[in-house]
């Protein structure tokens, strides 16, 4: 009897999961129904997967992204991008977290870049040269030594003459409770970056 009960419970769980509504990332608005799956139906996240580098003399900014499929946050499911980065200024490594991207001990919510919010040219950061309905991705960006600073990272994919690029805008969106003697400067300068796929 216990065996039959376990089987029935498993079938019920699978059938309930299969009946959860699946919608595209662009439909993520307002209150979010529990159990819904925000799927990257249009493949908006796929083109960002890989390693990208901004270089200017002896200064560089390297990001590696990977796509997480059907991440469950305890209430709903969603596809998302996660990433980690390295920043070198004048030949000196300021921070290097690239090793974390494929580290199995780093949970998918612990990466320093994370998100899936699709935005259009008229939202958030202006987008010179964007077409009317061009999609960009708005991500959370974290500096583990500046947790009191909230960053946003908006990325735009371009393919020009078969050279894949990301135009990125890094900005501080808020300053939280500042611990005593905590610095308010950013370790990576905010502003615009063009990164080329490696």
**In the chain, domain spans:** 21-197
Predicted local distance difference test score (pLDDT) of residue 29: 66
Beta bridge partners of 101: none
Predicted local distance difference test score (pLDDT) of residue 2: 52
Tokens of 176: 């939280």
pTM (predicted TM-score): 0.84
Q: What is the pLDDT of residues 13-66, one digit of tens each?
A: 444 445 579 999 988 666 778 899 999 999 999 999 999 999 999 999 999 999
Q: Which phi and psi angles does 168 have, rounded to 5°?
A: -125, 145
In sequence order, the 6+-apart residues with CB closer than 8 A to the CB of 23 are 36, 37, 38, 39, 41
Low-confidence ranges of the chain (pLDDT < 70): 1-19, 28-30, 124
User: Taking a C-beta distance cutoff of 8 angstroms, is the pair 68, 79 a contact?
Assistant: yes
Predicted local distance difference test score (pLDDT) of residue 8: 42
Q: How far apart are CA 29 and CA 116, in angstroms?
A: 12
Predicted local distance difference test score (pLDDT) of residue 4: 52
């Amino acid at each position: 009897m216990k065996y039959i009960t376990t089987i029935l419970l498993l079938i019920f769980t699978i059938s309930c999961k299969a009946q959860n509504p699946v919608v595209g990332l662009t439909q993520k608005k307002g209150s979010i129904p529990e159990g819904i799956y925000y799927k990257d139906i249009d493949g908006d996240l796929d083109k960002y997967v890989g390693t990208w580098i901004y270089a200017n003399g002896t200064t560089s900014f390297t990001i590696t992204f990977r796509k997480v499929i059907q991440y469950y946050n305890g209430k709903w499911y969603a596809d998302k991008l996660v990433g980690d980065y390295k920043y070198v200024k004048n030949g000196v490594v300021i921070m290097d977290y690239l090793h974390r991207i494929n580290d199995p001990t780093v949970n998918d919510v612990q990466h320093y870049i994370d998100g899936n919010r699709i935005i259009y040219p008229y939202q958030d950061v202006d987008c010179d040269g964007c077409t009317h309905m061009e999609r960009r991705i708005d991500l959370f960006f974290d500096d583990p030594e500046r947790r009191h600073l909230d960053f946003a990272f908006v990325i735009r994919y371009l393919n020009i003459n078969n050279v894949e690029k990301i135009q990125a805008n890094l900005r501080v969106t808020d300053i939280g409770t500042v611990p005593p003697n905590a610095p308010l400067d950013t370790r990576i300068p905010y502003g615009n970056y063009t990164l080329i796929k490696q």
